Amino acid sequence: AQSVTQPDIHITVSEGASLELRCNYSYGATPYLFWYVQSPGQGLQLLLKYFSGDTLVQGIKGFEAEFKRSQSSFNLRKPSVHWSDAAEYFCAVASPEYGNKLVFGAGTILRVKS
Amino acid sequence: KAGVTQTPRYLIKTRGQQVTLSCSPISGHRSVSWYQQTPGQGLQFLFEYFSETQRNKGNFPGRFSGRQFSNSRSEMNVSTLELGDSALYLCASSLGGQVQETQYFGPGTRLLVL
């Protein structure tokens, strides 16, 4: 079965500092990987996704993520965090074998201090 | 294009009652998925509908059901409500229901069961 682990429940960074949110997945083949962001009281917005090809993917709002097969990881990064980035971030995995179903990690709450 | 809309946004029910939530996908999207979000269990997949057929189902009891209409609008129903059904219910739509497609989420319906 697929599973996703986000080891950090909360992360606090200073505005302007770099950010890395960790995500590890468990799946036999190469999964389809996603990062979503959820602001308070809002639905989820897709930041980026990876299926194949270049292991470094660029997303919206200046985010990027790197797929590392050997580590079963798909970490999200941003070089300089803005106060508006404060939100909850979810890593998700899907596979054609399981249909169009996203399996989400527990989420990481990002706090940005000025 | 208008985004995914969900009605109602907030709902309060008592134990034993039933509830129906509605989701209107983005125009032209044929796949609608439902997710339950709770602080304890996180985001969990309920089911997916494509062209009026349930194509995939998560691990929820039979009290949770859904349907999709010919215009792709979807409803989910929860019968005999329990306190543990209190959650944010999110729906997501995608164009053809393929795994690699972006799923667009609505703002959710927040259900409180008293």
Distance (Å) of CA A48 to CA A35, B53, B103 = 6, 29, 11
pLDDT of residue A1: 74
State whether B107 and A44 contact (CB < 8 Å).
no
Please answer yes or no on whether B45 and A102 come within 8 Å at the CB atom: yes
- Residues on chain B touching A103 (C-beta within 8 angstroms): 45
Chain A interface includes B81 (CB < 8 A):
no
The whole-angstrom separation of Cα A56 and Cα A67 is: 6
Average pLDDT of the segment spanning A29-38: 90
Identify any residues that bridge with B30 across adjacent strands, giving them in sequence order: none
Q: Best residue in B56, B94, B98, B100 to probe A by mutation, most A CBs within 10 Å?
A: B100
Is residue A41 pLDDT above 90, yes or no? Answer: no
What gap in Å lies between CA A68 and CA A34, rounded to an integer? 14
User: Using CB atoms, which residue from A32, A41, A104 is nearest to B99?
Assistant: A32
Which positions in chain B touch A96 (Cβ < 8 Å)?
Answer: 99
Residue type at A71 in one-letter notation: Q
For residue A28, pLDDT beyond 70: no
pLDDT digits (tens, 9 = 90+) for A62-93: 999 999 999 999 999 999 999 999 999 999 99
> Mean pLDDT in chain A?
93
Question: Is B54 within 8 Å of chain A by CB?
Answer: no
Can you say whether the dihedral through the CA atoms of A95, B92, B56, B36 is positive or negative? positive
Among candidates B91, B114, B80, B81, which has minimal Cα distance to B21?
B91
Taking one residue from A and the other from B, the number of pairs with CB-CB distance under 8 angstroms is: 61
Residue-by-residue pLDDT tens, chain B, 114 positions: 789 999 999 999 999 999 999 999 999 999 999 999 999 999 999 999 999 999 999 999 999 999 999 999 999 999 999 999 999 999 999 998 888 899 999 999 999 999
CB contact under 8 A, A44 and B90: yes
